[in-house]
Amino acid sequence: MKNLWTKIFPAFYGFIIYGTLRVVNDTMGKGFKFWERPLYINIIEFATVILVGYIFTYIIRVQERKYFSDDASELTLKRAGKELLNVIGIALLVVYCTIIPMAAVTDDGLSLSDLVQITIIPTLYIVLYFAIRRGNFYIQAFVQSKIKLQQIENDRLNTELNFLREQFSPHFLFNGLNNIYFQMDQSIPEAKKSVEKLSELLRYSLYQEQNQLVEIEKEMEFIQLYAEVHRNRRDKKLILDLNIDTIKGKIYPHLLITLVENAFKYIEGENPKIKIAANEVNDQLRFVVENTYRPVESNPSNAGIGINNLNRRLELLYPNEHKLKLKSYDKVFIASLNLPVR
């Protein structure tokens, strides 16, 4: 259908030009009816305008091959003016070689008003057609350029997320192995169980894509397992309070675990305690981690690699949609993170 329209459009284009000329010319006369003329004159005019239509569209396509390029940024006022003058010049040449001679040998000859009308109207039509084609080209080029830029930006963000993930995984593995190392001095069977749990954690960590949403329930299972692994090597007095609601929905993975890691890293005090809570409030996941610490020895609010990476990943994955708060009071450090539930 598209190929058929491409073939017949020049003829249709020629008839539009012819119809405009006839309307303008005949309304200025007194009751002139072109269909009452001899048939051969109308045939000559029809054939001429069809020929002009095909010539005009061919000129446009030649101009496109000559001037159009994939780089829309190359357009300048000078270049656009040069293209337009080129099109107008060729259009006038075609008009004066086809329509003007045809008008001179038909009806009562070529009058001054005929010359003006035939010079202006077809030229305006070809300029209009060229402008539409040129504008459409630049719109498409602009859209394609935006798509390419978006793709480049997406690739850059994915690369950065992968880089952050590579920083996360070794850090996570180091902590897990360190825990098992100390646990082996206390109980080999318990250390073996910890190895099994660590393998489950690593399997989830390594095979879960950073830029794909996961079920919140799966992420909570990962956090609970992580907390259990780390609790085993800590002081027996450590109190681990898990208050995790069942939440339906999805989030991006490996964001919450950083806050849990931070809690186990800095927990101190005579009665060490870690409290982890997760619930849904107004279609948002609210995740809170509290831990005791000794302000003199350490301060969890001092952002390290983990917190810095978390902030950057939140900016990439939840721009203007997340809320991370870190605060401490009375030897208790509180980290809270709000994320939209997808």
Residues 124-146: pLDDT tens digits? 888 888 888 777 877 877 787 77
- Number of domains, the chain: 2
Would you say residue 79 has pLDDT above 60? yes
Q: pLDDT value at position 62? A: 78
Q: Which of 115, 146, 177 is the last residue of a domain?
A: 146
Tell me: do 136 and 245 sit in the same domain.
Answer: no
Dihedral angle of Cα 212, 213, 215, 217, to the nearest 10 degrees = 90
162 falls within a domain:
no
Provide the mean pLDDT of the chain.
76
Write the single-letter amino acid at 332.
V
The arithmetic mean of pLDDT across residues 77-103, rounded, is 80
**Residue 290 — pLDDT band, cuts 50, 70, 90?**
very high
Write the single-letter amino acid at 136.
N
Q: Longest C-alpha distance within the chain, in Å? A: 116
- CA–CA distance, 56 with 94 (Å, rounded to integer): 8
Point out which residues pair with 285 in neighbouring strands: 280, 339
99 falls within a domain:
yes
Q: pLDDT value at position 95? A: 81
Tell me: do 134 and 278 sit in the same domain.
Answer: no
164 falls within a domain:
no
Write the single-letter amino acid at 249.
G
Tell me: do 140 and 195 sit in the same domain.
Answer: no
Tell me: do 72 and 198 sit in the same domain.
Answer: no
The arithmetic mean of pLDDT across residues 278-298, rounded, is 83
203 vs 147 pLDDT, higher one = 147
- Helix, strand, or coil here: 319? coil
166 falls within a domain:
no
The structure's pTM equals 0.51
Domain that holds residue 324: 186-340
Q: pLDDT value at position 213? A: 84
- Helix, strand, or coil here: 253? coil
45 vs 182 pLDDT, higher one = 45
Q: Which of 327, 322, 332 is nearest to 286 (CA)?
A: 322
Write the single-letter amino acid at 262.
N
Q: Which of 289, 284, 166, 304 is nearest to 227 (CA)?
A: 289
The CA distances from residue 289 to 211, 240, 338, in Å, are 24, 11, 12
Q: Which residues contact 167 (CB under 8 A, 6 or more apart)?
A: 305, 309
- CA–CA distance, 296 with 4 (Å, rounded to integer): 83
Tell me: do 216 and 279 sit in the same domain.
Answer: yes
32 falls within a domain:
yes
Convert the pLDDT of each residue in 48-71 to its tens digit: 888 888 887 887 777 777 666 545
